Every structure is written in C-alpha cells, then in structure tokens.
Homo-oligomer: A and B are copies of this chain.
Amino acid sequence: MSVRRALEIFALEGVPLVEPGDDLAGLILASLADCGRHLQDHDIVVIAQKVVSKAEGRGVDLAAVTPSPRAVEIAAQAHKDPRIVELILAESSEVLRVRPGVIIVEHRLGLVLANAGIDRSNVEGETALLLPLDPDGSAQQIREQLIAGTGATVGVMIIDSIGRAWRNGTIGTTIGASGIATMRDLRGQPDLFGRKLETTEVGAADEVAAAASLLMGQAAEATPVVVVRGVDLAGIGTARDLLRPKHMDLFR
C-alpha cells in the first residue's frame, strides 16, 4: 500500500432512493456525472449495505414469514418479533448470545454481528432487509461496471454499521470488497530503528469503511455512496480476508 499525505473523502450527491432491481452502478455513474465528479485510479467507492440489499431485492415481507418454534422461543428471550427472529436464524450459522433486544450471531457470511444485520430502518412498511447474498460478489460486479463506465481502476467496498465487543457504538465495517487488498501485512518491515515489526497486520479496509461511514450518516442523510481518494489499497482481497477463523478466535 502507498498512501499520500492527504486523503479526500466525498459523498455523492443526488443518489436517488434505491428500488429493487435498480442498477446501482448505473445510479452511481449518473450521480458522478450530475455532480461533475470523475473517478480516478485507486479511488475506493464505498457503498452502504442497505442500498445494495434494496437493489438486489433482499426485502422480505414479514407477513409471509412463519416463525419456527425455536424462533418463538428465542424471540421471547430477546423480546423481539418472532418473524424477525426467524429471519435472523435463517441467515445465521450459529447463535452466540441472546439478550433482551439483541441476538448476536455468526452470519452465514462469517461476520459476527447483532441480529444478523437485519434492518428495519429506512425500509418501508412491514419489510425487513437482509444483507446481500454475496457482498464480495456484488462488489465485484459493481466494480466491473464502474471500471467499464469510467475507465478508472477503482476498488469497491460494501459496508455496514456493526457493533463490537468491549466498546460502545457501531462503526462502519467492511462486508464486501473487490479490487482491494483488505489487509495490510506489515510483519517483517523495519520500524524507525530498524527493528522488525512482529505482529502488525492492519485491517486497512475496515479503516476505510469507518472513514467512509463518517459521511454516510445513519438516519435521513441519504448519502449511501462515498468515494475515498488517496489510499492505494489496489489488490485482490475480499471482505472474507478480514474474518478471523473461528478456531483462531479467543472471544466466542
């Protein structure tokens, strides 16, 4: 990775509300044109999970969901709608913790997160929005379209706001990536005094995700696409590289 001494991070203006079936790359290209912005090589286009899920039709009508007995039981512990819990279970490979208001799971994508990332905010009516089926794949597809449409070799990331052990508050976190070395491995590099760094691997994509999240907002800001310029993470990583394998994890 090379980094210049300054970063610019800007939100695309005028991205319309996204509907199922929308061509997200097309909307991004139109917004770029509208605000007179051009993508450059090594730009990272960061997209909120919510609009990817919407475009991919990942909304589920809660009226069509019949909770299983297990979902009903966990819903009682978690004080949640059993239909939402049914969806959480269907999206997860393991339930790690259940407390009033929250179910911490390992999502089928390998992410450890609350309520399987299922979201009812910024969603109309009795609909729950699931994470994209394959966020790394979605990022790759959008990236190819953006490269074709602009000629710039950009990276693409899909991010969500995810809670953490030990610390209050969510932060923007990578759930899909394409064309990005998501991890920086500094092991073996010399420090200022020539001593080799021993254990430093940096979750660089997650640092980009957190930075972009500052401009996305969470509520009615409606700026789901942010461009990060000045960090060159060009490479072949995916969001999966950021997942610590279960057998190496000390905190489950």
* A residues with CB within 8 A of B: 3, 5-11, 13, 17, 97, 99, 101-102, 104, 111-112, 120-124, 161, 164-173, 183-184, 186, 189-193, 195, 197-204, 206-211, 213-215, 217-223, 230-231, 241-244, 249-252
User: Known contacts A207-B172, A251-B251: does B122 contact A192 (CB below 8 Å)?
Assistant: yes
Please determine whether A183 and B169 come into contact, CB atoms closer than 8 angstroms. yes
By the criterion CB–CB under 8 Å, are A190 and B97 in contact?
no
Interface centre among A112, A123, A189, A191 (most CB of B within 10 A): A191
B161 and A202 contact, CB distance less than 8 A: yes
Across the A-B interface, give the 9 residue pairs with the lowest CB-CB distance, nearest first.
A169-B203, A211-B211, A210-B210, A165-B251, A165-B165, A112-B166, A6-B10, A207-B210, A7-B9
- Among A124, A165, A193, A214, residue most surrounded by chain B Cβ atoms (within 10 Å): A214
Once the chains are docked, how many angstroms separate the CA of A183 from the CA of B168?
A: 8
Min Cβ gap A15→B in Å is 12
Contacts of A241 in B (CB 8 A): 168
